[in-house]
Amino acid sequence: MGAQESCPGCGSDVFAGEAFCEACGRSLTEKPAAACPECGATAFSEDGYCERCGVLRSGDRDHLEAEAGGAAGVTDRGLRHSRNEDAMALAVAGPGIAAVVCDGVSTSPIPQAASQAAADTGLAVLTERLAAGDEPESATRAALTRAVEAVTALAASPHDAPACTYVSAYAGPAAVTVGWVGDSRAYWLDGDASRQLTADDSWAAEMVVHGALTEAEAQAHPNAHAIIAWLGADAGEIEQHVTTFVPDGPGTLLLCSDGLWNYYPEPTRLAAVLPDADPLTAARHLVRLALDAGGRDNITVVVIPFTQEHAQ
């Protein structure tokens, strides 16, 4: 006989490999119903929402990993949230790599649907436009426009609007093109030459830009990280940010949600903790650092190596 175990129904001794408990007749091959991470109930709607409290059931999206053309990404629910509201998408795009990272706005309805729609739509349009011969900045703007439309279409009304942030990147043969709305970030990591490629659409950044507060004063304010721009039907007119960066040599392009950069905001500090490893191992390591630091938010990291062969 196999190793002895306990029946999940009555607690009687059973053996591994048995189909039914002899004491109570319970099936030993059926998986028990997953409990709601918020209230413990086991009844869920067809689309995965708890029928008691409305929280989305935990599932495969809690932790996902992806690889494409030498790049890799990891997204994780973290330690304090009941679901993962981040999303990522990455793919080979001609001679380069395209990637999108989105962070659902938790105060909006179904933020996980908003982030997934934006990431999937943004990547699909970005790769499509690049394949059609568009310049990277033009393709980036087209992708962002379509991502906005995809998230807006999820809203029942402007007062019931899913929302998310958005950052995309195309690492081509000689340059990196980045587009964003919100506070998901892109970094160039190369030792002391590391830099943040995006500028947050946040309350603190707005105060500093307009000279209302110093950087230290703004960051110390309770509203420091409140975003002032996002994708969604209630976002109003959206200003797309698009920029192109030409590296002097090899380095690493990093896209991430605030689940990572809240703990490691400085580019040089991120560069210091980035391991000399393959992209998937590096992405896993950065996610683990965020979890070890508290994991208070969803965490998404995409690592794209930029080699000397790319640089000019």
Selection from 229, 225, 223 nearest residue 201 by Cα: 229
- Contact assessment for residue 271 and residue 225, using Cβ atoms and an 8 Å cutoff: no
Question: Which pLDDT score, from 0 to 100, does residue 262 have?
Answer: 95
What residues contact 31, with CB distance under 8 A and at least 6 apart?
none
User: Whole-angstrom Cα distance, residue 156 to residue 159?
Assistant: 8
Give the burial class of 213: count Cβ atoms within 10 A of its Cβ; 0-12 exposed, 13-18 middle, 19 or more buried.
middle
Q: How many CB atoms lie within 10 A of CB 312?
A: 10
Question: Residues in the chain with pLDDT < 50?
Answer: 1-2, 31-32, 310-312
The structural domains of the chain, with segments of one domain joined by +, span: 60-306
DSSP reduced 3-state for 263: coil
Question: Which pLDDT score, from 0 to 100, does residue 8 have?
Answer: 55
- What DSSP character marks residue 108? S
Tokens of 153: 């279409």
Tokens of 108: 């909006």
Question: Which pLDDT score, from 0 to 100, does residue 87 have?
Answer: 98
What residues contact 16, with CB distance under 8 A and at least 6 apart?
2, 3, 4, 5
User: Whole-angstrom Cα distance, residue 37 to residue 47?
Assistant: 16
CATH number of the structural domain 60-306: 3.60.40.10
Question: Which pLDDT score, from 0 to 100, does residue 1 have?
Answer: 42
